[in-house]
């Protein structure tokens, strides 16, 4: 089935709506919360909870997951850190949607759509001090207490995006990855929903970061933290079989948890595209102000170095965007998109890093100055090449899927 790259009326309305929010609500406070790291951006959070999340007043059918990616691009054009600080289900919600039952989706996701109330957050806790890109190396444990029918979680999680709000504000939740059987390797990895303020889950602190400083990136400690048995996402069954191939069946619990990335990586790719576009838009405006016009109709031999750089930046950005839309479109159609999601994430992470660095370079001292946001966009860009799977990990996944190799054969 061919992919139609024409956006629906609903998606175009959403794009316009979220761009206006980015321009009017996010850009004016972008520098303020870049400097005021670990301070809750109250005016932005309250605005989003009351107004922004409701979408455009005029309703029309959208493009599903493609529209979600459009939202991410537009709002990260405004500010990527503030986007990550929005009171939403975020990565925790992606995990519940990917691996949870209908009952779990209704129980944990409903508060985010409720009218009134107060802002709430969702988060996902995967990374540990000794387990980063290799999620199968997780050492946080979950043990079932048969007397109370509860899971007991113990371990430490680091770099949890939105972890502060999700762990401390009532109504929110953290999806924690833990092993129920270390001898089973990745077959023993499961994900558990831990509601905010559950006894035994403690917020240790938040990271001081290079970029996306408006967002909270938390360290959480789980010490005899108990959650109901029904808070496990997916099956309790443990499979100790080796994966037969990169496209083999494997264990449903671990694969269900990993399926979260198939949904989250296109969103991260869209976020990267938004940051890259912010830099490129400003660069082109400044060049035009200085009398430099990009001659798209000129023969290649007549182009200046700056014109070639801008055209290459535009091509990189568009390639990342189209790969993102392809992965999102496949999600809409219920098609497996593991390969496409990793391709989009890898391309976008690399593209936004190059685009923002080039923008700073071409603008010279102006690009390096904190009087403008260009240097901030360069700092915000790099994380897109790291979280949700590093550039190297996503390239490995792409190679494994194309070659149909298991992880044991291609590391």
* Cα-based distances in Å from 338 to 46, 65, 170, 401: 35, 15, 33, 8
Which residue reads 């709430």 in tokens? 120
Q: Give CA torsion, residues 163, 165, 170, 172, to 10 deg.
A: -50
* Cα-based distances in Å from 289 to 44, 104, 219, 275, 376: 31, 54, 45, 21, 21
Asked if residue 236 lies in contact with residue 223, where contact means CB atoms within 8 angstroms, the answer is no
State the Cα angle at 128 between 123 and 134, rounded to 5°.
Answer: 100
Strands 173-179, 122-125: pairing kind: parallel
Q: Which two tokens stand for residue 10?
A: 């609903």
Q: Is 240 helix (H, G, I), strand (E, B) or coil?
A: coil
The DSSP 8-state label assigned to residue 175 in this structure reads E
Active site residues: 388
The length of the chain in residues reads 411
Q: Which two tokens stand for residue 75?
A: 């709002």
Other beta carbons within 10 angstroms of residue 159's beta carbon come to 19
Q: Which long-range contacts (CB under 8 A, 24 or more apart) does 34-37 make?
A: 34/81, 34/213, 34/214, 34/376, 35/213, 37/208, 37/209, 37/213, 37/214
Alpha-carbon distance 206 to 202, whole Å?
12
Beta strands in 180-314 (DSSP E): 189-195, 201-206, 217-228, 232-233
Other beta carbons within 10 angstroms of residue 105's beta carbon come to 14
Query: Among 183, 184, 185, 126, which Cα is nearest to 158's?
Result: 126
Query: Among 312, 271, 279, which Cα is nearest to 294's?
Result: 312
| Dihedral sign computed on CA atoms, order 97, 98, 102, 104 | negative
Beta-carbon contacts of residue 39 (< 8 Å; ≥ 6 apart): 33
Other beta carbons within 10 angstroms of residue 209's beta carbon come to 18
């Amino acid at each position: 089935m061919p992919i139609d790259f024409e956006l629906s009326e609903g998606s175009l309305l959403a794009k316009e709506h979220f761009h206006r929010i980015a321009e009017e609500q996010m850009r004016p406070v972008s520098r303020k919360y870049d400097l005021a790291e670990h301070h809750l951006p109250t005016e932005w959070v309250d605005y989003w909870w009351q107004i922004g999340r409701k979408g455009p007043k005029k309703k029309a059918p959208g493009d599903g997951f493609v529209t979600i990616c459009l939202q991410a691009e537009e709002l990260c054009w405004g500010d990527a850190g503030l986007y990550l600080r929005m009171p939403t289900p975020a990565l925790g919600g992606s995990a519940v949607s990917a691996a949870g039952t209908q009952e779990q989706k209704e129980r944990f996701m409903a508060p985010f759509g409720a009218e009134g109330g107060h802002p709430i957050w969702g988060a996902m806790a995967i990374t540990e001090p000794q387990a980063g890109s290799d999620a199968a190396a997780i050492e946080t444990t979950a043990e079932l207490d048969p007397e109370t029918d509860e899971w007991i979680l113990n371990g430490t999680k680091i770099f949890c995006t939105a972890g502060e709000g999700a762990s401390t504000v009532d109504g929110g939740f953290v999806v924690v990855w833990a092993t129920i059987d270390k001898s089973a390797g990745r077959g023993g990895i499961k994900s558990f929903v831990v509601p905010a303020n559950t006894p035994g889950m403690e917020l240790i602190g938040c990271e001081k970061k290079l970029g996306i400083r408006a967002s909270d990136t938390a360290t959480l400690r789980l010490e005899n933290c108990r959650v109901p048995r029904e808070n496990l996402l997916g099956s309790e069954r443990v499979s100790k079989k080796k994966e037969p191939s990169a496209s083999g069946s494997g264990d449903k619990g671990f694969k269900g948890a990993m399926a979260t990335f198939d949904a989250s990586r296109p969103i991260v790719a869209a976020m990267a595209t938004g940051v890259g576009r912010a830099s490129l838009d400003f660069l082109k405006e400044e060049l035009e102000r200085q009398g430099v016009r990009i001659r798209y109709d000129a023969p290649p031999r007549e182009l200046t170095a700056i014109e070639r750089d801008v055209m290459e930046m535009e091509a990189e950005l568009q390639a990342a965007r189209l790969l993102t839309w392809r992965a999102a479109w496949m999600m809409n159609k219920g098609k497996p998109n593991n390969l496409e999601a990793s391709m989009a994430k890898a391309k976008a992470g690399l593209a936004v890093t190059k685009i923002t660095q080039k923008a700073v370079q071409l603008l010279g001292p102006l690009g390096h100055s904190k009087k403008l946001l260009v240097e901030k966009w360069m700092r915000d860009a790099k994380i897109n090449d790291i979280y949700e799977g590093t550039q190297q990990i996503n390239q490995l996944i792409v190679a494994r899927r194309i070659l149909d190799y298991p992880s044991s054969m291609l590391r």
